[in-house]
């Protein structure tokens, strides 16, 4: 039986200190792994586990992403959290995932032709660090890009996207060249609704989209508020007000 050990890439995202003593045991014959420190276990599906990379360079294909139709204590906690953040059950069931390897994190994935390319995982407990974990190259993809046509509301994160009409997200402040080309190739109108604590990113993104030929508008939010905190009804009203003034 062929086995190898590596530093576990899951310890940190499961709320443990980073593994530096090679607690991850991988059975390369049976293609399974188990960490003796954080308890992560599952099927070995990617090269990540043999690469020795840390959780900062995670391969999204190395995680088992599950729907909320599989009821466990962890999935119920995550589902309840998402409801509390304003997501509707249908969106949660269709668009959000969870993983036993990520413990209590809501996972927002991007699939291309049925293949997982990137995901953002958000801790649902206040004290869990880091707050966000990303697997894959987030700068190459746009969350919820395939769901809408013609126009969109551009936000920073997935929760903000779910709280905005035709909401999409760049997984952070600002827009990459990849994301700019994607958005400009599909949407004729974009409402930029980045958080008010990132004025430079908001204006740089606005002008980048304008220069790319997109009809672009800024959505100004009150200090201390993001789209998720304002909620879908308020964000819809703000977008409609801008449309009326066009």
Q: pLDDT tens digits for 57-92? A: 678 888 889 999 878 899 999 999 999 999 999 999
Residue 66: how many CB atoms within 10 A of its CB?
A: 15
Q: How far apart are CA 14 and CA 101, in angstroms?
A: 7
What stretch of H or E contains 191? strand 187-192
CB atoms near residue 132 (< 10 Å): 15
pLDDT beneath 50: ranges in the chain? 1, 47-56
Residue 123 is predicted with a pLDDT of 93
* pTM for the full predicted model: 0.79
- Do residues 52 and 26 touch, judged by C-beta distance below 8 A? no
Cα separation of 200 and 34, whole Å?
44
Q: C-alpha distances in angstroms, 161 versus 22, 144, 169, 203, 216?
A: 38, 8, 6, 19, 17
Task: Report pLDDT for 53.
Answer: 41
Instruction: Strand 132-136: give its sheet, edge to edge.
Output: 105-112, 115-123, 132-136
């Amino acid at each position: 039986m062929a086995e190898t050990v590596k530093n576990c890439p899951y310890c940190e995202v499961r709320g443990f200190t980073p593994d530096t003593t090679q607690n991850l045991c991988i059975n390369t014959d049976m293609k399974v792994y188990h960490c003796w420190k954080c308890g992560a276990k599952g099927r070995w599906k990617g090269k990540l586990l043999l690469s020795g990379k840390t959780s900062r360079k995670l391969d999204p294909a190395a995680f088992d992403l599950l729907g909320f139709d599989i009821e466990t204590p962890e999935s119920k906690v995550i589902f309840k959290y998402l409801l509390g953040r304003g997501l509707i059950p249908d969106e949660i069931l269709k668009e959000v995932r969870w993983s036993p390897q990520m413990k209590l994190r809501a996972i927002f994935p991007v699939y291309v032709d049925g293949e997982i390319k990137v995901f953002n995982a958000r801790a649902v407990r206040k004290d869990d660090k880091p707050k966000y974990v990303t697997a894959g190259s987030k700068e190459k993809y746009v969350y919820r890009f395939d769901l809408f046509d013609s126009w969109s509301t551009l936000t920073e994160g997935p929760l903000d996207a779910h709280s905005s009409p035709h909401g999409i997200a760049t997984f952070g402040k600002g827009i990459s060249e990849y994301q700019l080309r994607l958005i400009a190739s599909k949407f004729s109108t974009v409402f930029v609704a980045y958080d008010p604590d990132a004025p430079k990113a908001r204006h740089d993104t606005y002008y980048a989209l304008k220069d790319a030929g997109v009809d672009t508008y800024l959505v100004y939010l009150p200090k201390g508020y993001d789209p998720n905190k304002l909620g879908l009804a308020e964000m819809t009203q703000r977008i409609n007000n801008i449309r009326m003034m066009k």
